Amino acid sequence: MNKEIQQLIDMGATVAQARAALNKYRDVMQAAEKFFEGEFENVVEDNSGRAHQPQSRATNRVEDVEMENEDDAGELEDDDDSDAYIDYDSDDDGGMPVNSGASKVNDPYAGIFFSKDRREEVIEIEEEPVFVSVPEIDQKVELMTQGRWMAGCAEGGEQSFLFSLYSQLSESQLSDLDGVCACPSGCGQTVKRKQSDFFAIYPKFSTYIKHLRNVVPQRCIKCQTEFCFACGEKFSQDARDSLWHCSNLQGVILGVGLFMIERLFEQQKEESEIREATERGTKRRKTRGINDDGSIGGSGKKKGGIGYAGELKEDSSGQAEAQANQLAKDSRIRALLAEVRDYLPFLQRSNGPYPSDYLPHPSSLTHLRRRFNLIAGELLRNDSLADMSDRHGLYFELLEWLETISSHESLCSMMPMPIMRNVSQQTVAKKTNTSSIRERKIIYEGSASPRELLEVIALQAQAALKGLESSKPHEELLPELSEEQKRKTIVSAKGKSRDDALPGGDLDETSKLYSFCRRLLATTVQIDRSLRELKGDEFVTRMHDSLPKAYTSASDSVYVDAGDTEEDAQKAYIKWATSSRFEYCDLTIPTTDDSEETLNYKHYFNNEIRMLANANIPKRSVAIAKELAILTTNLPVAWDSSIFLRVDDTRVDVIKCLITGPEGTPYHNGCYLFDVFLGANYNQSPPSVKYITTSGGKYRFNPNLYADGKVCLSLLGTWSGPGWVPFKSTLLQVLISIQSMILCEEPYLNEPAWASDAGTPQSKAYSANLRRMVVKTAMLNALQNPPEPFEEVIGTHFRLKARFMQKQLDEWLQEDDGRALVPDGAEYSGAGLNSSTSSPNGFKADIDALKDLLKEL
């Protein structure tokens, strides 16, 4: 059974109806249009299997269809004509198997391409802009040249559809037939199409649509037949709107509209980048000598301590203005998106679908995959759920697009398909006999799909909702939105804001974030429901298997194989750490009775936690929700150093953190535990942080990590320098500062008085003493007595690295200076540096014991 017949069957036609329609009209698009007009509704198969249409002169030859079909199928399948239709549920590396009609496999879409391991090289032509005068607005407008029309298409098979449609709707030097529209009555009259008819880029999309309404309906000057200028067919008597007459129109409208969106998006992005660069330059001039991390160090090359840059404060002036500018830009993009969205193929229109809604032009998917995916990808890569919530108008419109695309069988496959991103381009000038042209060699690589990017945000939204559970229930304020209510939250086709349609339009920040999270999660559910209905359960299951996971519970943890090489181990480690970096768990101390007494926690700040057991502080709840959203998917993970968090599943303000020491430091591969509590004034005030890996308050691991657990960091207010910025600073910033600025290469320099002693004997002795502490406490003891709730993390961390830690330990032993381990390395400064002992310092014994444990792992 050929592909064209299968396409008509998928739209509801019987085998006989599909064969009859294609036999009469040949062109699948025209056949589909006539089928939906009811022309073949009486076609049936007789007992012999032949098509039969009683009382219809349109099917005189239908009886011979089956005998001719075998030859026809061969012609259609081998036809390389550019008007053929692509199977969008296929790809170069695996396509959708065609169903036989007698039986279907469980997963007919098993060949859908999910892998991001793709690389395509494309040559694109850069053309000089061309402008023409148009009477509608009495000014010159730019024409979309063929090169610009086809730019960004990484799929060779799809380029032919773009080329075919452009040639058909504009003048062409390649063929006298392209650009010519003949009267469908056969009177011989023709009309020449111009590029400005369909490819003029007007200042406003609405002006472009108005122009098309004037151009598309044509009346033959010879026989007065009214026909469509895009496809050359007569308008049917029940045509509701000329701009939905054919898929040619749909393809060109979406192509031009998406180009206008992409250009506006890119222009505003460039403007923002220029402004930010200017502001950074101004700020640097004002704070000359201050490094990006807040420390004094000139160019940043000179080593120095951290966090003692005086009483500097971050300049937050202009923040409100910048936010207002961003919302104004969002409003323009949102309005344009809403206008263009009306022309997406959509079968659930309130006034019923149009013929082109059933069978979109191939270029429609092509434009969506290259132009819309670019914009959607940029917006969904925003790692701040709070920023999305603040810009909810634009993101609500984006979600509406994703739902609309996923609801159509011809388009929904792009949801799990990788976005092909431009990763490299090289411009080459070439000279011809008449002129010079510029070619761009562009390399595209596969990246995360729209559904994968949405999943990352959905995981953040789930965490944010969990963080909001401590505030008053929001169900009373925000009932589940109906489909009509959801659509009213989007900008209308005229671009006017309709945010007041959202329940509680002027809700506080808590309710706004809550509403946005629910809307986003509802979209993921709707997309998956559509894909399940259109593609099947097996398809959605495979897609979910490829999506990122925020965390796995202890019961879901599986053994991770380190492989045979260090490269294998690194890949396994990163994959494991990514899924294990953030988890909810029970941090309470079990009780022996059923008393309602306030629970105790396995946490340094237990008393403060108990005091806030029943607190309801809305601003704090919002801050915690935003914090969890960031932490869920943004904790740094690497072979060199990672951050792991465990959050109590009922008290999300109670957190434990484990940081593995960075490579190239005396802390390398050690495990360092911190207790974190988001107090009553969070986020107006910084979190409370306590360092736990002190061997019972015995060892001081850094000038900024005291033996009593105090963490000295300007962000925490425990050290001078740029401090916590209310409602802007984050816990993630604190954790990364500890990881990179405290657990550093030369920790001796973190003491202000010693900041200029880089590379001195005192600094080297301090680091040697630290290595002895690390092996004894953060490595050996961590393996022998892993702290709750990081038993599995510590075990897997050392097991995956066991073979490769041997070299590190040997190097540390060789670099050891033979001095005794002291609780505070500061004793090695001054006279203490000359003290030594002839007795063993126990370092070798600790390393040997650690090696034995690693061998067991």
Indicate which residues carry an active-site annotation.
712
Cα–Cα distance, 762 to 811 (Å, whole number): 20
Cα–Cα distance, 399 to 803 (Å, whole number): 47
| H or E element, residue 206 | helix 205-215
Cα–Cα distance, 339 to 257 (Å, whole number): 9
Cα–Cα distance, 100 to 664 (Å, whole number): 61
Q: Which residues contact 38 (CB under 8 A, 6 or more apart)?
A: none
In a 3-state reduction of DSSP, which class is residue 58? helix
* DSSP label of 111: T
Q: Which residues contact 650 (CB under 8 A, 6 or more apart)?
A: 586, 588
In a 3-state reduction of DSSP, which class is residue 226? strand
* DSSP label of 700: B
Cα–Cα distance, 185 to 235 (Å, whole number): 12
Q: Hey, which residues does 171 pair with through a beta bridge?
A: none
Pull the structure tokens for residue 544. Answer: 């979910």
CA 757 from centroid of its chain's CA atoms: 45
Cα 267 to Cα 48, 200, 272, 306: the distances in Å are 63, 19, 9, 39
The residue among 519, 471, 481 whose CA lies nearest residue 501 is 481
Cα–Cα distance, 346 to 323 (Å, whole number): 34
Q: Which residues contact 171 (CB under 8 A, 6 or more apart)?
A: 178, 179, 192, 193, 194, 195
Cα–Cα distance, 762 to 772 (Å, whole number): 16
Cα 814 to Cα 667, 775, 809, 843, 847: the distances in Å are 16, 14, 9, 11, 12
Measured in degrees and rounded to the nearest 5, phi and psi for residue 617 equal -120, 95
Cα 667 to Cα 205, 277, 637, 643, 787: the distances in Å are 59, 36, 17, 14, 18
| H or E element, residue 767 | helix 761-773
Cα–Cα distance, 345 to 333 (Å, whole number): 20
Q: Which residues contact 608 (CB under 8 A, 6 or more apart)?
A: 677, 679, 688
Q: Hey, which residues does 122 pair with through a beta bridge?
A: 442
Please report, in angstroms and rounded to a whole number, the separation of the first and last CA atoms in the chain. 58
Q: Which residues contact 430 (CB under 8 A, 6 or more apart)?
A: 436, 437, 438, 439
Q: Hey, which residues does 685 pair with through a beta bridge?
A: none
Cα–Cα distance, 95 to 728 (Å, whole number): 48
Q: Hey, which residues does 133 pair with through a beta bridge?
A: 140
Residue 93 CB burial class (10 angstroms; 0-12, 13-18, ≥19):
exposed
Is the distance from CB of 316 to CB of 726 less than 8 angstroms?
no
C-beta neighbour count of 779 within 10 angstroms? 27
Cα–Cα distance, 415 to 373 (Å, whole number): 10
Alpha-helix residue ranges (DSSP H) falling in 508-637: 509-535, 537-546, 566-580, 606-611, 618-634
CA 130 from centroid of its chain's CA atoms: 35
